Chains A and B, each alone.
Chain A
């Protein structure tokens, strides 16, 4: 999978021009700098996730694209047109709001029809398109209900149908699943993914949940304090994080700090050979599952070994998480579930899995 990821697997054949282009966008509220020179492209049909903690600026970026906020500097382009100069109602993007924002005084049908009504669409066309949209989210039976009588999951579907009926080229979703309980959330995740594939519209999805981002996205844009930390596919960002923050935010990892000299790095009692890059202090990320017990090692050459003492063992069904002590350095190791372990063992990993990252 490509690192740059400007094209997702699904739209490799489409025109190479991005659907949406964010150029050097900055946004301040008073003295608070919420976004710092963000540049990002979204391809047609892509599922791009803005991932970050609360306060990282992900929702602000979404609101800039929707038109609810004006950038302090920078530009947003969509299909050869300056998007940031247009008022929200003239932008060909639609939003699914965090708490759905369904109109309480309108029925489900009227909510979904809203976007077509304000554009003076002919009545019979509205009727068929509303029926289609409700069918698409499996809510046909609730057409005459008021939003207040629906469950969270049902309201979510209506919010989706209401946004999609306008046939936007880009759908913005602001933590749409955060109000749902865990089971429903999982179910909605897979439905959302399926729907996106089916209709082929680009989704820009905001979440603080890394599992959700991993499960849904073609690419993840990781935001930290208003700046992009890394933009890559889930696989890429997991296997090749570029920074300590990215390595720790997405999944668990071991940070090995040490010194590179020539071909080798020395991190305490652990040596990594060969490594690339310049000499000097270096930090490596080594995922717990990249370390294996020497007995079940299926690692090709070259490989590194180290001895460590098992301090703690946490059972997690199919796997177990070990906390091991390698000459004072604590490491986490994920191994297939098996017999309880204690005492000193020899562990093994491939130097390819130790990823040099920036602080």
Chain B
């Protein structure tokens, strides 16, 4: 048995951490969302005006839907890349597995900003991609829609979040006992049936975890649209950022943040339920 003092000592630092850096900011944000901005000054009067604005001003809903679309595209593309990659590494990579695994992981150590600027360099008007296309005489003029478009945002976020999608799927695939796959073949199932009936269902928890990562992280991203997105790809976090910054409308920014937070929590809750439903001893 551990003594009371020991238990207290162990419990206090994390509780303090959570209290100061998580609960307190959230409480402040929550409070702000019910306050008002009048003539450029914060008025501490409880009201629901900010939330009304969320639903009455079409801009916010429009940007939020665009954000959700971009996040969904990123999730879809990351799954499309991450799942086959994880499948190959887990089942067919053989001795190359360790090396390939490192290749997938290494980009995670590179700063997000560096990767953002790299995409800027690749996609820009005098960028690598345009230079290459002109060199091959496929295009005569620089193609301008590569950069500063939702496409660029999706591309960059897919690049960044594919390892996050890959990792839980890979872990799930590695956890599938290999005799199950042999049993499936033994009972007459070909590769396709074995994948659809055994491997895919047993990897669903990892797939859900990866998809949740990609979607939730993309939903809150503001750097990718800032760096490569342009006005046509403004996302909801950019709006929050400008409301807290240049516009100095903290209450409205907080209300939007609370909205995003609710959406995110609902999503996390739903996927956790689903993951439980699909996990087996």
Chain A residues within CB distance 8 Å of chain B: 66-68, 87-90, 93-95, 97-99, 101-105, 114-115, 117-119, 146, 148, 162-163, 166
Query: In the complex, are the beta carbons of B185 and A89 less than 8 A apart?
Result: yes
B148-171 toward A: CB 8 Å interface, digit per residue (1/0)?
000000000000000000000000
Which residue of chain A is the closest to B187 with respect to CB atoms?
Answer: A115
Which residue of chain B is the closest to A94 with respect to CB atoms?
Answer: B186
Query: In the complex, are the beta carbons of A68 and B182 less than 8 A apart?
Result: yes
- Interface residue SS majority, chain B: helix
Interface presence of B118 (CB below 8 A): no
Cα A114 to Cα B186 in complex, Å, equals: 11
Query: In the complex, are the beta carbons of A101 and B177 less than 8 A apart?
Result: yes
Cα A119 to Cα B187 in complex, Å, equals: 9
Interface presence of B179 (CB below 8 A): yes
Question: Would you give the shortest CB distance from B181 to chain A, in whole angstroms?
Answer: 9
Given A104-B281, A105-B280, A148-B280: A88 and B186 within 8 A (CB)? yes
Specify which chain A residues have a CB less than 8 angstroms from the CB of B198 in the assembled complex: 103
Question: Would you give the shortest CB distance from A9 to chain B, in whole angstroms?
Answer: 30
Given A103-B198, A105-B202: A119 and B179 within 8 A (CB)? no
Question: Would you give the shortest CB distance from A213 to chain B, in whole angstroms?
Answer: 23
Cα A331 to Cα B20 in complex, Å, equals: 82
Contacts A95-B183, A115-B188 known; list 6 others, CB within 8 Å: A89-B186, A89-B187, A89-B189, A114-B187, A148-B281, A163-B187
Cα A87 to Cα B185 in complex, Å, equals: 8
Query: In the complex, are the beta carbons of B189 and A114 less than 8 A apart?
Result: yes
Query: In the complex, are the beta carbons of A118 and B189 less than 8 A apart?
Result: yes
Interface presence of B184 (CB below 8 A): yes
Cα A146 to Cα B188 in complex, Å, equals: 22
Cα A9 to Cα B177 in complex, Å, equals: 40
Query: In the complex, are the beta carbons of A101 and B280 less than 8 A apart?
Result: no
Given A101-B180, A105-B202: A118 and B188 within 8 A (CB)? yes
Interface presence of B193 (CB below 8 A): yes
Query: In the complex, are the beta carbons of B280 and A146 less than 8 A apart?
Result: yes
22 contacts between A and B (CB under 8 A): A66-B182, A67-B186, A88-B182, A89-B190, A90-B188, A93-B186, A94-B186, A97-B179, A97-B182, A101-B180, A101-B183, A102-B183, A104-B280, A105-B278, A115-B188, A118-B190, A118-B197, A146-B280, A148-B280, A148-B281, A163-B186, A163-B187
Query: In the complex, are the beta carbons of A99 and B179 less than 8 A apart?
Result: yes
Query: In the complex, are the beta carbons of A66 and B188 less than 8 A apart?
Result: no
Q: Point out the residue from A67, A103, A162 that lies within 8 Å of B185, measured CB to CB.
A: A67
Interface presence of B201 (CB below 8 A): yes
Query: In the complex, are the beta carbons of A88 and B179 less than 8 A apart?
Result: no
Cα A66 to Cα B184 in complex, Å, equals: 12
| 10 interchain residue pairs of minimum CB distance | A104-B280, A115-B187, A101-B179, A88-B185, A101-B183, A118-B189, A148-B281, A95-B186, A118-B193, A89-B185
Which residue of chain B is the closest to A148 with respect to CB atoms?
Answer: B281
Query: In the complex, are the beta carbons of B188 and A89 less than 8 A apart?
Result: yes
Cα A119 to Cα B280 in complex, Å, equals: 26
